[in-house]
Amino acid sequence: MVWVKFVICLVIILFAGTKLVRYGDAIAEKTGLGRIWIGLVLLAAVTSMPELVTGVSAAAPWVASPNLALGTLFGSCAINLAILALLDILHRRTPILSEASSEHMLSAGWGILLIAIAAGSVFAGERFSGLGLGWMGLPSIIIFIFYLVAMWQIFRFERSHQLSSPQAISPQYEGISTKTAYRRFTLAAMAVIAAGIWLSFIGNEIAEVTGWSSSFVGSLFLAITSSAPELVVSITALRLGAIDMAIADILGSNMFNIAIVAPVDLAYRQGSVFCAASPSHLITAVTVVMMSLLVIAGLKFRQKRKILVVSSWYSPILIGFYIFGAYALFTWSGGL
């Protein structure tokens, strides 16, 4: 029965996710903020709501599983980067990162910094347990502040780029009013959030039924399901020709996922969430850092052709890193 609920929850997220990109694109057009900024902030925040709700619910007193919470957040980052490999395969003409804006290197770099701080906090464990506000650890506060600084810097960079090179875009959503776009976007977001609440309890059930560790369940099953909106949104954006929006959603979601550590830490009343975290999360964190560096390399060294016919050189490496990380985590956590 638990697997039936898992599938139902997945279907809800997939259906709601398909609506997000359409109305997010409409909002980008009507507000003039641009697809990159809308993807990086608005779409990323909404598609990451399952991670937020799942992480907070898993850390809250009624579940009290910090490893399930952190596993979901870290694992979702790895899956999001693996989605880039899928997008590259689906984008038949040229390597997808070669057609994307170089501005994405900034958000990818900030994502590496944020998860590096989180990984360092897991490694430090109880060494910083006495530093923070109440039971909330200092690393969580630092991560959240850095996230806000990153958003401000990227916003200023994006606005300056728009002013220096304005692009004329023909209206595509004249038949949809701004009010309608916001309303339908909100309805889709509410559906994603509702499914996300359900996810934390389903994940805990899976851990109990299978006997698998909460770190592995969070990093694999919950992370895959909660990343379903990113998958649907990015593929839909790719079909619309909005490559920058698709990539911005993925990289923005990774930054948001790590920033979620702050509310997760606040929900975990037994001290800093990093003090109770398993060292196995370091495997996922290192995997995410390596995959992010590959994305930056793909953005930096722009290849005109796909060397593997259907994929660029970085796609199989991204997938390989993810599979290796999942296997290493499964082995570390004891597996079955």
pLDDT computed for residue 159 by the predictor: 72
Helix (DSSP H) and strand (DSSP E) numbers for the chain: 15, 2
Single-letter code of the amino acid located at 236: T
Q: What are the CA-CA distances from residue 180 to residues 38, 173, 177, 186, 237 (Å)?
A: 17, 11, 5, 10, 20
Highest mean pLDDT among 4-13, 107-116, 161-170, 216-225: 107-116
pLDDT computed for residue 336 by the predictor: 46
Collect all residues with Cβ–Cβ distance below 8 Å to 231 and sequence separation of at least 6: 17, 83, 86
Residues 139, 140, 141, CA angle at the centre, nearest 5°? Answer: 90
Average pLDDT over residues 183-210: 74
CA quadruple 244, 246, 247, 248: dihedral positive or negative?
positive
Residue 127 banded pLDDT, cuts 50, 70, 90: low
Single-letter code of the amino acid located at 113: L
Helices 49-59 and 178-210: angle between axes, nearest 10 degrees? 40
What is the rounded CA–CA span in Å between residue 13 and residue 140?
28
Task: Give 205 or 145, the one with higher predicted confidence.
Answer: 145
- What is the residue-averaged pLDDT of the chain? 81
Average pLDDT over residues 26-39: 76
- 8 Å CB contact between 313 and 140: no
Task: Give 230 or 131, the one with higher predicted confidence.
Answer: 230
Please check the confidence at residue 169 and state whether its pLDDT lies above 70.
Answer: no
Write out the two tokens for 310: 């259907």
Percent of the chain with pLDDT over 70: 83
What is the rounded CA–CA span in Å between residue 252 and residue 229?
13
Write out the two tokens for 267: 């929900």
Percent of the chain with pLDDT over 90: 24
Average pLDDT over residues 60-74: 78
Give the range among 52-56, 57-61, 132-136, 292-296 with minimum mean pLDDT.
132-136
Rg from Cα positions in the chain: 19
Helices 66-90 and 104-124: angle between axes, nearest 10 degrees? 150
Average pLDDT over residues 196-216: 66
Task: Give 108 or 215, the one with higher predicted confidence.
Answer: 108
**For residue 136, what is the enclosing H or E element?**
strand 136-137
CATH topology of domain 2-164+176-332: A middle domain of Talin 1 (1.20.1420)
Task: Give 90 or 13, the one with higher predicted confidence.
Answer: 90
